Each structure stands twice: as C-alpha cells, then as structure tokens.
Structure 1
C-alpha cells in the first residue's frame, strides 16, 4: 500500500523542468536582492504605520529563499550566490524617504505578482506549483497591505475616472483604430490604464535611478544610472502628454523623496541588477499595453519605447558582465560540444 508520504516523495522525485528551474533560479536571485534592499529600508524606516508592511515583505523574501533552497538541495542543484551582506551597508545614511519606501513596496509587489503568475502557469511538479500558489497569494496580500496604508495616508493616487457608458454599442467603422493621421478618438479605458501604470512605474524607476546615480562608486555605473533616470523621465513625459491630450490627470512624481546622501547603501552590482529588474518589468508592461491598444498610434509608440529599453538593458548587461557581476543562468545541454563537434 502506498502512503501519502510515499506518494509525495515519488512526486518530488520527478525532475524539475526547464521552466521550473529557470523561474526558481531567477526568483532566488531577486529575493536575495530584496533581503538586502528591504533590510536597509527597515533600518532607516521611521513611520510606524509602514513598519508592519515592510516587515511582512522582508519575511516573504526570506521565506521564499528557504523554500527554494530546500528544493534545490533536494535536487543537488547548486545554490546561487545572488546578493549577500557584502552588497549592503545597513549603516549608510538614509537615501529614500518613508513615503518612497511605501510606494516602492506597492510597485515591487506588482512586479512580483506578474512574475509569480507566469511561473505558476508553467509549473507541473506539485511542490513547485504549491510554492507559487502560496507566493502569489502572499504577494497579493503584500500589495493589498501597502495599498491600504497608502489610502489611509492619502498617498494612493487613483487612475483617472471616466464616465460609465449609457448603453452597449458596437464599433461601426475602422476609423476607431485611427490615430496616426487626422482626428483621434478618445482613449479606451484599458488604454488609459496602461498609460497610467507605465507612467507610475517609470516614475518609480526615475526615483530609484536618481538615488543610485548619487551613490554609485564606479563612474560607468553612475553614468548608466543617469541614463536610466533620463530615459524614465522621457517615457513619463510621453505618457503624460497622451493623458493630458484627453484632459486626464497623470501620476505624481516622487523625486522629492530621494534625499541628498552620496554614501552608497548598496554595491554597484546590486544597483545594476535592480535597474535590470525594473527594465525587464518595463518590457512586460509595454508589451501588454501594446497588445491591448486599439488605436494605431499607440502600438508603434510602445514598439519604439521597447526598442529603447532593449538597447539600454543590453548595454547594462555588457557592463555587468565586464565586471563579473552576472551569474550564469541554467542552460540546456550543448549537444554539439558533448559530441565533440
């Protein structure tokens, strides 16, 4: 007779798929970065209302690392190095305000929701699937907690309101998709939402890059952070202009929540990786926005912005490789090399 324990052991002896390996490996690296970043924020935070949310976020990252370590150890998979205490200076002066930290938690939990949902949809093995189900639920809880505190403090900026349609109607002419030339129709609700969220995430990116540009030790890294700041600012302006054309409000900026410290709380390696994570999230957000855009001017706009982010991200990867800051991700076997050809 097969016991429940025997069944579980059998299930977990099934090999990890490439999708499971890739997502778990990436999550491990990202959560080691989060432990460093959130640990520093925790040391500097003064607001008692934000404290439980930040503590919960740090707890989740540590919990994720424990679970992934268990899975990798069971599979005799080498544990990634990621980021360690050497990548953070908890005694460095404060670089960001408490208001920024709260906004950071909400926006990074949004990135986590997208990553965990994608990973869950590609996982077959029960222990990995159960892990991502829990990760998705806990990350959703983190988003909810951070949003509630923002609402209680009057810091939550809602997306624009539009009027509710009076009746159901159908598109009658292809001019509905026009936008490159001539008269443009008003933006749809989803088009407004996409412009809003992309403006909000770029606003966060601009603030992060501004802070990092002040404290990075390497001249090349400082220049890269300035470039990140300027690209984010330009993209924010593009999105704000489109919203302003419709007389819709745009998200506020958080530049005043970056303080004047020039003492680095993080290593250049960690800051470069952090910007890479934000760039990757931007790719995804722009792709989703382009796929849902029905006006012909919006698709090419997002394609142009994606190309700019791609070039920027590629340059960043070259800089990180040059400094030996990038761990090699798991790869498929090189069959030609194994065959000696």
Structure 2
C-alpha cells in the first residue's frame, strides 16, 4: 500500500503540473523578450532571476512528467516569440508584471500544494511556494525603491473592542451605507491594481495582434478592464479614499510589431481572466455589504462571458492544448 501511494501520480498531481507548465512557459518567453529591452539594471536583475527560476521549474516539471509516464505538454516554444520585435512595454510595466505575477504564483502553488498526493509533487510545490514568497517580497521592495508602489489607503486605528449593532451593516442599495471595512478596502485596491495592469497589457496586445478577430477580442478586454477599474475606484471615492491604482497605458509603447504569437497572448489573457474570476469570488464572500456582493457578481458574469469568447477563439484556431482528463468509459465499451 505504501509503495502505491509513493509511486502513483493522481489526477491532482498531473493536472496541477500541466497547468503550471502551460503558465510557466508563457512567463519564460515574456521574460526573454523583456530582457532584450530592459534598461534599468535593478529591474534587469529581477527579470533575470525570474527567468532562471522559471527555467528550473520547467526542467523539474519535465522530470516529473517522465516519472509519471505522462507526455510533456507542448506549452509555448520559440515559435511563440519574436526576439527582434521592438519593446512593447516600459521597464516600470515589466516590474509591475513580475509583482502581479507573484500573486498568481502564490495562489497556484498554495492550491497545488494543498491537493498534491505524490510526495515529489508536494515537495516541488512547497519549494516553489517558498521561492514565490521571496520573489514577491523582492518585487514589492523594488517597486517601493522606484516610487511606483501604491499603498492601500489608511483607516482609523481602533483603541477599543466593539461589536456590530447597526442593522445597516449589510445594507447597500437601500438605507444608509456604512463605511467600507478594511478588508473591503484591501480587496478593492487589489482589484484596481490588477485591472490597471491588465488594461495596459491588453492595450499593448491589441496593437500587435496579427488576427483581426484577436485584435477585436483584446480591444473588448481593454474596455472591460478599464470599466472595472473605474467601478472599484468609484466605490473607494464614496468613502473619500484614494485611488486603488492609476491607469498605466502610458507605459505601453506605440509598437505595432508582435513580440508574441496570438496564441500566447490570448492564452495569457485567458489565464488573467480565470485568476480575476477566482479573486472576485473570494472578495464577494468577504464583503458583507450587499451592494458590493452584487457588483462582484455582475463583474464576474461580464468577465465570464468574455472568457468564453477567448476559449472559442483558442478552440477555433486549434490553439488550445488538451488538458489531462478522465477516461471516456462510453467510448471504451463501443
């Protein structure tokens, strides 16, 4: 029995490794292109460290796939990058991307660690989680040094213990709204930053996409992320709190030459959407005010519909690699 549990790779092991491999190969080629143009030596160092980390991870995952007797996914390759393409984003946006990328890594690795069955997979994600924590801290401190880090607004420091008595605690549409809770402010700021970054990157992708269909897809995503940023910022303004983030479109160059394939860019946006839906749902569960829950539900529905459009594009063009799946028992008996 012990030998079975030691050597058998389960659905949880294979599927998390497969998802991580796909996303890490996107990061790998993003770092490679960024390093062709970066000028700031501090940002260059963190880009190089990130690339080295991701390449080690990819190699380790390939060894785990071989051990599991499972084919190594194609992921993304040299076919998906044009190293001769001009710069599309500024150094500042490179750093902001790395910082936000660590949020995705922390979410992905912690979830994968919690569901891993095989010891080698468990050890792999435990090691990765430690590395992602270190990279997150390094990127945050570098943003502070470069004066581009936006802090969350201040709230009063309570000196006494109190309990909720006002029945308006959960109201939002009718009656007087209570001020935002600290956790609600935190989530609104977080989503503002994510949408500001998404708006800038999708704006760049819309300039360089080769297919008109993909261009229109990115243009729609640019408008959605811009609208979501306005929603979160306006809620903060109701309590006279500062903006959660600023538009970073000025960090996008005027290049119209694609550094990445349409397949890579659409997949990147699809991953961004999936992460947003998950984060919105968590924020909705932690926001007792009814109006905020309704806003999150509405925004989730909008990005969910947009995600569906992206999946249709990937499937229609033959760009969506088949993820690991259970056996089709009906086919096996025919």
> Aligned to 1:234, which of 218, 221, 227?
227
Task: For residue 327 of structure 1, give the secondary structure of its aligned residue in structure 2.
Answer: coil
- Which residue is 1:157 aligned to? 150
Counterpart in the other structure of 2:201: 208
- Paired position in structure 2 for 1:283: 277
How many pairs does the alignment contain? Answer: 332
Equivalent residue number for residue 132 of structure 2: 139
Q: Secondary structure at the match of 2:236?
A: helix
Would you say the 8 A contact 1:12–1:127 is kept in 2?
no
Contact 1:11 1:126 in 2 (8 A): no
Matched-pair contact (CA < 8 Å) for 1:88–1:265: yes
Counterpart CA distance in 1 for 2:329 and 2:79 is 38
* Alignment-derived partner of residue 3 in structure 1: none
The yes-or-no answer on 1:306 pairing with 2:320 is: no
What does the per-residue CA deviation read over 1:11-66, in whole Å, with 9 as the maximum and x for residues that have no partner? 78521111111110000011111111110001111100111111111111111111
Q: In structure 1, what is the Cα distance between the partners aligned to 2:162 and 2:94?
A: 44
1:256 aligns with 2:250: yes
Maintained 8 Å contact 1:53/1:146? yes
- The residue number in structure 2 matching 1:31 is 24
Q: Which runs of 5+ in 2 are unaligned?
A: none
SS in structure 2 of the partner of residue 163 of structure 1: coil
What is the match of residue 173 of structure 2?
A: 180
Which residue in the other structure is 1:324 paired with?
318
For 1:70 and 1:151, the matched residues in 2 are separated by 38
Matches of 2:207 and 2:21, distance apart in 1: 28
1:44 and 2:37 are equivalent in the alignment: yes
Q: Is the 8 A contact 2:87 2:255 kept in 1?
A: yes
Q: Determine whether 1:195 maps to 2:226.
A: no
Q: Contact 2:15–2:324 (CA<8 Å) still a contact in 1?
A: yes
Root-mean-square deviation (CA, aligned residues, Å) is 1.2
Q: Deviations over 1:235-263 (max 9, x none)?
A: 00100100000111111221110010000
From 225, 236, 239, give the equivalent of 1:243: 236
- Match in the other structure for 1:4: none
Q: Which residue of 1 aligns with 2:56?
A: 63
Q: Which residue of 1 aligns with 2:266?
A: 272
Q: Distance in 1 between matches of 2:233 and 2:251?
A: 20
2:83 is the alignment partner of 1:90: yes
Structure 1: 5+ residue stretches without partners: 1-6
Cα contact 1:88–1:266 (8 A) shared by 2: yes
Counterpart for residue 333 of structure 2: 339
Please give the alpha-carbon distance, in whole angstroms, between the structure 2 residues aligned to 1:50 and 1:277: 24
1:82 is paired with a residue whose SS is: coil
Rounded Cα–Cα distance in structure 2 between residues aligned with 1:70 and 1:13: 16
> 1:174: Cα distance to partner?
2.8
Give the TM-score, by structure 1 length. Answer: 0.95
Matches of 1:44 and 1:113 in 2, distance apart?
27
User: Does the residue aligned with 2:42 lie in a helix, a strand or coil?
Assistant: coil
Matches within 5 A, 1:4-15: 10=3, 14-15=7-8
Which digits, 9 at most, give the CA deviation of each residue in 1:111-147, with x for residues without a partner?
A: 1111111111101211111100011010111111111
Residue 120 of structure 1 aligns to a residue whose secondary structure is: helix
Are the counterparts in 2 of residues 194 and 289 from structure 1 also a CA contact under 8 Å?
A: yes
